[in-house]
Amino acid sequence: MQESTAWRARARAVERLGWGAAVALLAAAGGWALASRELTDFVGEGPVRVLGVEGRARQWLVALGLLATAGAGLAAWRLGRGALRYGAGAASMACALLLAPPLAVPAAALFALGAVAAFVARASDVRLAQFVPARHPQLWAAGGVATAGALVATSVLSVWLLRPLFDEGRTLDERLDFAVATVASGGASSAEASATVGAASGGAGVVLRQGTLKGADAFHFGSGSVRLLRAADGRQLLRFEEYAVRNGPDLFVYLTPDVAGDVGASGAINLGVIRATQGNVNYELPAGVDASAFRSAVIWCRSFAVTFAVAVLE
């Protein structure tokens, strides 16, 4: 009996810690989102995108939604009873996950920990005594390993999702092995300043199309020049010059005939994983591809189906 009472007291402490920390995290996330449009554009790239809300409206939706779910979670914890308590708390966490998955994942994990502890704290002495560690050491060991694994996985997932906020990515400075002396679409030879980029060892190349890289929103920034080039030997390159783009998970470079940057459009091609997030970078096109058919270059996050930046090629 004394052992079960001790475990009940520990469970109540864990309950207070788990629920309280979950609510505090959601409240802090809501305040952070309210103060930062950049952060809102980042966390809002989850399921909330299906609502089609953009800009300032999305910022208010995410921020106020997180604050509301924090309040609902607190009310469920303090005022709820039985299944209603757990159901209301779970519903609030589900809403938070829909609004801002990167920030809500650790809060949901803490809520789950608090819910399990609350169940233990309210179990009868007879039932609790049947499950103390001394009676089931192997079960408790397995549960401890599973809990530790879940916490590690949650932490890794959160860090992976939040990494773009802190990691600027890689810088690469690639040169061309040919000079660029003409612009194909203009038809005039201009020996422009870009002709000095690289040694003219392979003869003069031409610019097929070019444009300026622009970010999708306040968080997914992009800048720099983008050019489609054809070398004298027939090679075709997509070149990013003096560019920078927000780092992110699973980024790829696409060329698409769609001027709006739809990577799913017919004829779009994937040039591979992004090689650097800033500097001067070249991507060689597959042989036989008609580069002049492409109207935009896109930096695309494949895991979350999010456009980071687009350059309209003219």
Check whether residue 116 and residue 12 sit in a common domain: yes
Q: Residue 203: its pLDDT value, please?
A: 66
Check whether residue 26 and residue 127 sit in a common domain: yes
Most confident of 66-75, 83-92, 178-187, 270-279: 270-279
Check whether residue 125 and residue 26 sit in a common domain: yes
**35 or 274: whose pLDDT is higher?**
274
Q: Residue 44: its pLDDT value, please?
A: 60
Out of 114, 134, 165, pick the residue that ends a domain: 165
Check whether residue 16 and residue 143 sit in a common domain: yes
Out of 131, 165, 199, pick the residue that ends a domain: 165
In this predicted structure, the answer to whether residue 16 has a pLDDT above a threshold of 60 is: yes
Q: What total of structural domains would you count in the chain?
A: 2
Residue 230: phi and psi, rounded to 5, are -125, 120
Check whether residue 71 and residue 38 sit in a common domain: yes
Q: Residue 6: its pLDDT value, please?
A: 73
Question: CA–CA separation, 303 vs 249, rounded Å?
Answer: 7
Task: Please give the residue range of the domain that contains residue 241.
Answer: 171-312
Check whether residue 155 and residue 212 sit in a common domain: no
Q: Residue 195: its pLDDT value, please?
A: 38
Q: How many residues does the chain have?
A: 314
Check whether residue 59 and residue 87 sit in a common domain: yes
CB 213 within 8 A of CB 301: no
In this predicted structure, the answer to whether residue 134 has a pLDDT above a threshold of 70 is: no
Check whether residue 177 and residue 159 sit in a common domain: no
Q: Residue 189: its pLDDT value, please?
A: 33
Confidence at 224, pLDDT banded by 50, 70, 90: very high
Check whether residue 140 and residue 182 sit in a common domain: no
Out of 165, 194, 225, pick the residue that ends a domain: 165
Check whether residue 159 and residue 199 sit in a common domain: no
Check whether residue 203 and residue 146 sit in a common domain: no
Check whether residue 40 and residue 180 sit in a common domain: no
Residue-wise pLDDT for 135-171, tens only, equals 667 776 787 788 778 777 767 776 776 666 677 788 9
Single pTM value for the model: 0.61
Q: What is the mean pLDDT of the chain?
A: 78
Confidence at 182, pLDDT banded by 50, 70, 90: low
Nearest one of 63, 55, 118 to 96, comparing CA atoms: 63
